[in-house]
Structure 1
Amino acid sequence: MDLSDKRCIPCRGGVPAMGSEEAERLISHVSGWTLEEEAKGIRREFRFRNFAEAMRFARQVGEIAEAEGHHPDLSVGWGYCTVRFRTHSIRGLHENDFVMAAKVNRLP
């Protein structure tokens, strides 16, 4: 199953964060994304022709996040939107972060 076809499973903590080996395996399934913070988070910067396009994209990411109940950190500026995922309740990565990255990659 493609990661983008999966749904986020609520994670309220109490489970260990994903190890770096598993994170390295999953990052290969979400093109353009990189591991950061010693495999405790993932990020991707998307480029656009102007601020309006970047904001439109950020809103689309927000709509997916609300639908899935898993929210990124976004940085938006003229011509870019940086999206970062990390499961805050476990202070690291969970499969949900990669599911969301795959869903964001499907945006136009």
Structure 2
Amino acid sequence: MDAELKRLLELSAKAMEVDGLTWIRSGQCFYYDDPETGREEWKPDNCDGQSRRLQVKLQIDTQHGDKEIKAFNGCYCCAVVKIGDDAAAAMRRAVLEVAAQVGEVLE
């Protein structure tokens, strides 16, 4: 996992108020203790469900164009991601980037 993605995941977890986020270096991933499901991997960059929960909790709106996806939270946080072969991945990335911007404000 590259340093940028790791930082986006950390900041998005902060915005989502995820408790007990733990970096597992050998697996190159984050885990947290979910009160309902137990130990779970934090991966809103790959998991539609986690991405959607970020979007709903942080009130992130999106606009889907032909070539790009725009995500924004009010007028303060914004991300524009080009759509490649996978529009869903672009949507998750746009939501993750806005969530990370919200988490950065909370630092």
Tell whether the structures are fold-level matches, with TM greater than 0.5.
no
Pick the structure with more strand per residue.
2
Higher RCO (CA 8 Å, separation ≥ 6 residues):
1
What is the TM-score with the length of structure 1 in the denominator?
0.31
